Amino acid sequence: MSQNTKSFGRTELAQCYFPNIQPMSAWLKLKSLLLEYPDLAPLAHLHRRTFLPSEVNKIYQSLGQP
């Protein structure tokens, strides 16, 4: 994956994966997906609302790019 990935707000990234649903619903759906992957589950429980570029790359590696 590209090392030039930018950081994303969690809702912003969720809407990339699920563009046709409301932002909060998109986040909840992405969160449930993250919980299905042991390597990604900790990202679902972060106390911040932004994914770092390295975290976005990790998500892309598991889920594919939206």
CA 27 to CA 44: how far, in whole Å?
A: 10
If one compares 14 and 5, the residue with the highest pLDDT of the two is: 14
pTM across the whole model? 0.90
Q: What is the pLDDT of residue 4?
A: 67
Tokens 């932002």 label which residue?
23
Q: What is the pLDDT of residue 1?
A: 46
Gap between the terminal Cα atoms of the chain: 13
Q: What is the pLDDT of residue 38?
A: 96
- What is the H or E stretch that residue 24 is in? helix 23-35
Is residue 59 within 8 Å of 9, Cβ to Cβ? no
